Structure 1
Amino acid sequence: MQFERLSYEEFLKSKVRLAASDGFTISDDEVNPALKPHNRLMVKWLVEGGRRACFASFGLHKTVTQLETLRIVLTRTGGRALIVAPLGVRQEFARDAVEILGWDAPPKFIRSIEEAGETGIYITNYETIREGKLDPRKFVAVSLDEASILRGSGGSKTFREFMAYLTGDAGPNGNRRGTEVVEYIFIATATPAPNDYIELLCYAAILRIMDISQAKTRFFKRDSTKADVLTLHQHKEEEFWLWVASWALFVNRPSDLTGNANDDEGYIMPPLDVRWHEIPSDHTKAGTEKNGQFKMYAETAIGLQGAATEKRNSLNARVNKMLELRNEDLSAHRIIWHDLEKERNEIEKLLPECKTVFGSQPLDIRESIIRDFSTGNLQELAGKPSMIGSGTNLQKYCAWSIYLGIGFKFNDFIQSLHRTLRFGQVSKSVRADIIYTEAERKVRKDLERKWTQHNKMVEKMIEINKKYGLSQAAMAQILTRKMGVERVEIKGEKYQIVNNDNVKELPRFETNSIGLIITSIPFATQYEYSPNYADYGHTENTREFFEQMDYSTPEAFRVLMPGRIAAIHVKDRIIPGGLSGLGFQTVYPFHLDVIQHYTKHGFAYIGMKTIVTDVVRENAQTYRLGWTEQCKDGSKMGVGMPEYLLLFRKPPSDTSNAYADIPVFKDKPLQQMADGSTRKFVDKTKEPIVPGTGYSRARWQFDAHGFTRSSGDRLMSSSEIARLEPDAIFKLFRDYSLNTTWNFEHIVKIAESLEVIGKLPPGFMLLQPQSWTDEVWTDITRMMTLNASQWSQGKEMHLCPMQFDTADRVILQMSNPGDKVLDYFGGLMTVAVRAIKHGRYGIGVELNPEYFTDGAHYCKAEEHKASIPSLFDVLEVEGAA
């Protein structure tokens, strides 16, 4: 049975990644009418998705939403369902199940499968599953309440265990539980990603929406030395949030879902009164430097170890401040949040009427204390945010929290704050007093930064909900509009370049019309060169990348003359230790897959030219070849990564002599005869050759060798030039202006691009029209000195952009004058430019409009023999500065 390949349009649409719906379609009347309108919509969306997250704000009834979701799932599947909740929360489920949903009995709390029946909804805590006492795979559906407890992409035991149970993923420590997984999974929390995007990716992995490493590659720039340092690609921002919205529901207030402002009655969050209290640090306990010298001041940018020391040193001062604040209203109900056991001991000693909750207490006692406080029977409660800061409703009698200290964990802080800052808060405002020391100013700053980031993320998702509703079809329609580009063609006497998808452009060329193909192909999953789904870098994995190549490579084979060469420029790829799962960097031999791909489509592989690279520069990018690391462990380093020029040949029509249908012919050099005349070289004579004539034996030896070097000089994109400081831009533009045909509109475009990124100074004209006469001075300006490191900080997205000398040697050796030379991943049109320079006809196809525009200018400049700024020009400008 022959596999029928998707059409190219269908293939591109398949690259749109929104979460699949794997649940049940239900009608509105199947949902308990006791639920509020927004909760009924949430339940319907969760059930129909099958594996979904509910990121509703504090007090929007996630408890009843989870209970009703599981009830409806069990009506279709039978069996049993499990709610996993943090300490002190099961009473909320018990009360809501009976008082709101009208159940005859609350869900039963269990610690082992033996305590459960064959059907029904049960509840347990995270510790039970983490310690292996209860296997969630024994349940049809599982709902994780306050799932922010799972935070951390593998760093916590809780996350690793749940990944192993729910997804079958072995995780970093190999905790595989077999192939069996939980079919229906739901997640609920009000703080889905308070610290970083990585937490959202964890939820996606738990729900089996997308693997963490896959999502990192698809949406984020990465720090190769720190796997979880993520920066969202600017052009992927909309797609990322639409993807998240396809499996996660963000709700701040009921009207976000219902669209009816009247539904917000009773759901207005009370104002928050945050009061920061800075305690002077004891600088006599500042400690010592590494060299043993005493520090003059306590650190103001401390890490975890320093923070613990600072907390111990400042304990008495912080406790005294707490007592001072408490004395403002001794009758008030109050929560005192703390982190250290010594802090708890001080609270118990000074405030005997305050009940404390701690880990070694029996579970029943802990829950009894929390219940007494939530019902108003206890006036003061003390505990750690990490223990009782999630899930509990403490707002009915309490509107005041005192934080005895400050910490790095924003999730614990924001969760604890919202135990009282919730809908249904009886007080007109909620007060939070936060005590910290002078040395902890940076900790406070980081806390405030994360708080702002959290609010922005929630606002972004609410905006998407309002714009698209809960329709995945509407979201997918937006993304599919980004497929392909409007074709633009620019021709000169010696070149033709096209802004288009090469899969759609290559069929336009005549069969057997191209004399040489030379290109640097992109990389699977490494970079995306444009926000277009036709972008080859916009792939989830290597398999999908080569699937897209399967549409273009047969056309490249068709258009190439029989017997001629396709020279493919590639480089292997470094896999960071965080992605390899091994803890150290490995190498993906990309060039091997490229060889297999091209030979599969009819090309004959005839050799590989290895282009050596600068190991020092490479180490600056990957940090894997460092001298210091080699001294620590010589087994870790590996070797430098060369580039490769893979040579493929299209078989000639006549294979009897192996010559191309139209051979690439070279004249041998002239010989200098004794009488002063010259003649074509004859092998048997010993007369010297005339230097610079014909194709010499010396040049042949270098061409035939398997190794080569490159100067590294190449074309510059306007965005790369824009990263320079004004002084360097001015000098580069001066030389360009004096040697290039003046193009007013192009110059304005450059200036406008610089203005957008803030590089066009308001105080002087950066791009001054230059004069050819010495009577007019235009080379004097007043600027800051160029920062010589600025260029080195810029990262070109392609790992091995085509260099001038590489293109030159291939063009001169493997094509005839007048041949059409094609680069169907044209980029800045380096190949087309060098083809023009050497008397060929340059052809380039490029998807990215910005690269195409820059390339069009370079081709025109080369055709008119004008000056073109290159990488070496920039480095020369830097050196002059």
Structure 2
Amino acid sequence: MDKWLIWCNLNKEQDALEKEFKGYCVSVRGSTSLDDRIEMERSWREGDVPIMITKPQVYGWGVNWQHCHNIVFVGLSDSFEEYYQAIRRCWRFGQTEQVNVYVITSEREGAVAKNIRRKEADFEMMLRGMISATQEITKKNIKRTTKETDVYQSDSCIGSGWEMRLGDCIEHIKSMENDSVGYVIFSPPFSSLYTYSNSERDMGNCRTDKEFFDHFQFLAPELFRVLQPGRLMSVHCMNLPTSKQNHGYIGIRDFRGDLIRIFQKAGFIYHSEVCIWKDPVTAMQRTKALGLLWKQLKKDSTMCRQGIPDYLVTFRKPGENADRVEHTAEEFPVAMWQRYASPIWMDINPSETLQKDSAREEQDERHIAPLQLEVIRRGLELWTNPDDLVLSPFAGIGSEGFEAVKCGRRFIGMELKRSYYEQACRNLRRAESEAKKPPQASLLSFEEVAA
């Protein structure tokens, strides 16, 4: 399926294009959130959405779209640089097809088009002169070109009952004692779905699932080593969609199953799992996945599918638990247990993430895939004692530690990316402060709320 990139300049143009290509396009505006931009761009680049509608001011710089070779401009501005950069998103190194550029203008825009053509001619003349003058310098620079990677950094930040470590989790975890952790909970990189940094140590910085698991297999035995016998490790994950472009077919990769098998190989017992419901309508709106589109149901429902849920998969280290996790009927009433024991959690609020609060700060960087706080709370309530040490090797902005500290547990987290690490430290200090506050009296019991 050929991909099309349609550039426009005005909101009214974008409105009209959305109406014309409804169901066949994603449309990214300046007001589109970062998370939605990522999902919509991926569904166009890797999925079956054929058309991307956007503006040069939004996506005209810094992206590589060699998968697309058909470009349409609906109207022009007087900026030749904007026009040139918009074309270069597709016409760049790695493009294997002839790039077709179509410019649609009205009679009233004749002067603008003429101005752009003049600037283009001036640019080509200048470019030829620059190439002629700098050819030898360019050759020398190319020979000296090296691959750019993030400089590896290591640091630590310690608070009351918590510690954050900046750096490679596989290196940091080697310094931890055997059988020292009471509970492990984390959300690993979802293979190559998101790339968080340019570091070669970043497990998400991979081309294939094989590359990811070749790297991840060094962590699994270390997690087994540091966890106390009889204690649990919970892994938040999901199965991953495939695309014709990258995999040759549209379907789902068993990422969850691959994680289970790699942890079983490391010695863990596959203990339990819960399926976390996600709204398929929200997923359809964000990704435009072919299998979730209602128009596909009318066209050929054999390509329709259900939404992809999250999972919290829990593993147990063999052996006797020396420090039992006991509960009373008052702190864990039967209604609460029945809710937690359900194999499907239908009541997880996807918006209740640490990002919702921490991203309000201007200097904070928004984390692409934060873990829902309620999922973390339930794991801590079910499977830990007060003062247990909780570990997250992929701490991100500190969601697991935020809840652990507030629940009176100790925490150690590891994060490779400095901006996430620094934000995690701020979040953990906030959790430490909130944990010291007296608990607020509740007017309703859990049973009354459940009723």
Normalising to structure 2: TM-score of the pair?
0.67
Distance change (3 Å), C-alpha of 1:499 and 1:446: farther
Q: Tell me which amino acid in the other structure corresponds to 2:278.
A: T
> 2:342 pairs with 705, 710, 713, which one?
705
Query: Hey, what's the Cα distance between the residues in 2 that align with 1:464 and 1:852?
Result: 40
Query: Hey, what's the Cα distance between the residues in 1 that align with 2:241 and 2:198?
Result: 24
Look up the SS of the partner of 2:307 in the other structure.
coil
> 1:651 pairs with 309, 318, 339, which one?
318
> 1:663 pairs with 302, 324, 328, which one?
324
Query: Hey, what's the Cα distance between the residues in 1 that align with 2:285 and 2:136?
Result: 41
Residue 298 of structure 2: aligned partner: 631
Residue 143 of structure 2: aligned partner: 470
Residue 9 of structure 2: aligned partner: none
Deviation for aligned residue 1:467: 6.5
> 1:818 pairs with 387, 405, 410, which one?
387
Query: Hey, what's the Cα distance between the residues in 1 that align with 2:225 and 2:118?
Result: 60
Look up the SS of the partner of 1:634 in the other structure.
helix
1:838 has 2:404 as partner:
no
Q: Tell me which amino acid in the other structure corresponds to 1:535.
A: D
> 1:829 pairs with 389, 398, 404, which one?
398
Distance change (3 Å), C-alpha of 1:819 and 1:610: same
Q: Tell me which amino acid in the other structure corresponds to 2:368.
A: M
- Please list the CA deviations of residues 620-666 of structure 1 after superposition, one character each: whole Å capped at 9, or x if unmatched: 122121233323332222111110011111111xxxxxx42332222
- Please list the CA deviations of residues 532-560 of structure 1 after superposition, one character each: whole Å capped at 9, or x if unmatched: 12111111110110111112111111111
Distance change (3 Å), C-alpha of 1:804 and 1:636: same
Query: Hey, what's the Cα distance between the residues in 2 that align with 1:564 and 1:525?
Result: 30
Look up the SS of the partner of 1:716 in the other structure.
helix
Q: State which structure, 1 or 2, has the greater radius of gyration over its C-alpha atoms.
A: 1
Look up the SS of the partner of 1:546 in the other structure.
helix
Q: Tell me which amino acid in the other structure corresponds to 1:468.
A: N
Indicate conservation of the 8 Å contact 2:367/2:420, yes or no.
no
Look up the SS of the partner of 2:414 in the other structure.
strand
Residue 531 of structure 1: aligned partner: 198
Q: Percent identity?
A: 25
Query: Hey, what's the Cα distance between the residues in 2 that align with 1:632 and 1:445?
Result: 45
Q: Tell me which amino acid in the other structure corresponds to 2:146.
A: M
Q: Which has the higher contact order (CA 8 A, sep 6+)?
A: 2
Distance change (3 Å), C-alpha of 1:455 and 1:612: farther
Distance change (3 Å), C-alpha of 1:439 and 1:549: same
1:566 has 2:233 as partner:
yes
Residue 7 of structure 2: aligned partner: none
Residue 225 of structure 1: aligned partner: 44
Residue 714 of structure 1: aligned partner: 353
Query: Hey, what's the Cα distance between the residues in 2 that align with 1:639 and 1:592?
Result: 18
Look up the SS of the partner of 1:470 in the other structure.
helix
Query: Hey, what's the Cα distance between the residues in 2 that align with 1:301 and 1:233?
Result: 18
Indicate conservation of the 8 Å contact 1:301/1:440, yes or no.
no
| Structure 1 segment 662-741 matched on structure 2, within 5 A | 662-667=323-328, 669=329, 693-709=330-346, 710-712=348-350, 713-716=352-355, 720-721=359-360
Deviation for aligned residue 1:440: 7.8
Distance change (3 Å), C-alpha of 1:632 and 1:562: same
> 1:544 pairs with 211, 236, 239, which one?
211
- Please list the CA deviations of residues 377-410 of structure 1 after superposition, one character each: whole Å capped at 9, or x if unmatched: xxxxxxxxxxxxxxxxxxxxxxxxxxxxxxx946
Indicate conservation of the 8 Å contact 1:605/1:648, yes or no.
yes
> 2:155 pairs with 485, 488, 493, which one?
488
| Structure 1 segment 221-620 matched on structure 2, within 5 A | 222-227=41-46, 301=74, 409=100, 438=107, 465=138, 468-471=141-144, 475-476=146-147, 478-479=148-149, 482=150, 484-485=152-153, 487-582=154-249, 585-620=250-285
Query: Hey, what's the Cα distance between the residues in 2 that align with 1:842 and 1:650?
Result: 19
Indicate conservation of the 8 Å contact 2:187/2:236, yes or no.
yes
Indicate conservation of the 8 Å contact 1:301/1:439, yes or no.
no
| Structure 1 segment 83-94 matched on structure 2, within 5 A | none
**Number of equivalenced pairs:** 352
- Please list the CA deviations of residues 829-868 of structure 1 after superposition, one character each: whole Å capped at 9, or x if unmatched: 111010011110021111111111111111101111189x
- Please list the CA deviations of residues 123-165 of structure 1 after superposition, one character each: whole Å capped at 9, or x if unmatched: xxxxxxxxxxxxxxxxxxxxxxxxxxxxx9999xxxxxxxxxx
- Please list the CA deviations of residues 48-75 of structure 1 after superposition, one character each: whole Å capped at 9, or x if unmatched: xxxxxxxxxxxxxxxxxxxxxxxxxxxx
- Please list the CA deviations of residues 34-56 of structure 1 after superposition, one character each: whole Å capped at 9, or x if unmatched: xxxxxxxxxxxxxxxxxxxxxxx
Deviation for aligned residue 1:720: 4.4
Q: Tell me which amino acid in the other structure corresponds to 2:313.
A: L
Query: Hey, what's the Cα distance between the residues in 2 that align with 1:640 and 1:491?
Result: 41
Indicate conservation of the 8 Å contact 2:355/2:367, yes or no.
no
Indicate conservation of the 8 Å contact 2:186/2:400, yes or no.
yes
Distance change (3 Å), C-alpha of 1:437 and 1:510: closer
Deviation for aligned residue 1:818: 0.6
Look up the SS of the partner of 2:353 in the other structure.
coil
Moved over 6 A (4+): 152-155, 228-233, 442-456, 461-464
Q: Tell me which amino acid in the other structure corresponds to 2:166.
A: N
Superposition RMSD in Å: 4.1
Deviation for aligned residue 1:804: 0.9
Distance change (3 Å), C-alpha of 1:443 and 1:717: farther
| Structure 1 segment 708-857 matched on structure 2, within 5 A | 708-709=345-346, 710-712=348-350, 713-716=352-355, 720-721=359-360, 753=363, 797-798=368-369, 801-857=370-426
Distance change (3 Å), C-alpha of 1:551 and 1:580: closer
Distance change (3 Å), C-alpha of 1:861 and 1:449: farther
Deviation for aligned residue 1:617: 1.1
Q: What 5-or-longer segments of structure 1 have no aligned partner?
A: 1-151, 156-219, 241-299, 303-407, 412-435, 653-658, 670-692, 722-749, 758-794, 868-881
> 1:621 pairs with 267, 270, 286, which one?
286
Distance change (3 Å), C-alpha of 1:410 and 1:614: closer
Look up the SS of the partner of 1:619 in the other structure.
helix
Indicate conservation of the 8 Å contact 1:221/1:232, yes or no.
no
Look up the SS of the partner of 1:665 in the other structure.
coil
Query: Hey, what's the Cα distance between the residues in 2 that align with 1:445 and 1:524?
Result: 47
Query: Hey, what's the Cα distance between the residues in 2 that align with 1:703 and 1:811?
Result: 12
Query: Hey, what's the Cα distance between the residues in 1 that align with 2:197 and 2:272?
Result: 32
Query: Hey, what's the Cα distance between the residues in 2 that align with 1:446 and 1:588?
Result: 47
- Please list the CA deviations of residues 427-448 of structure 1 after superposition, one character each: whole Å capped at 9, or x if unmatched: xxxxxxxxx9837859779979
Q: Tell me which amino acid in the other structure corresponds to 2:141.
A: Y
Query: Hey, what's the Cα distance between the residues in 2 that align with 1:627 and 1:838?
Result: 43
Q: What 5-or-longer segments of structure 2 have no aligned partner?
A: 5-38, 53-58, 66-72, 76-98, 437-451
Query: Hey, what's the Cα distance between the residues in 2 that align with 1:700 and 1:484?
Result: 44
Query: Hey, what's the Cα distance between the residues in 2 that align with 1:576 and 1:464?
Result: 42
Distance change (3 Å), C-alpha of 1:618 and 1:469: closer
Q: Tell me which amino acid in the other structure corresponds to 1:834.
A: E
Residue 35 of structure 1: aligned partner: none
Look up the SS of the partner of 1:632 in the other structure.
helix
Deviation for aligned residue 1:815: 0.9
Indicate conservation of the 8 Å contact 1:825/1:845, yes or no.
yes
Deviation for aligned residue 1:523: 1.6
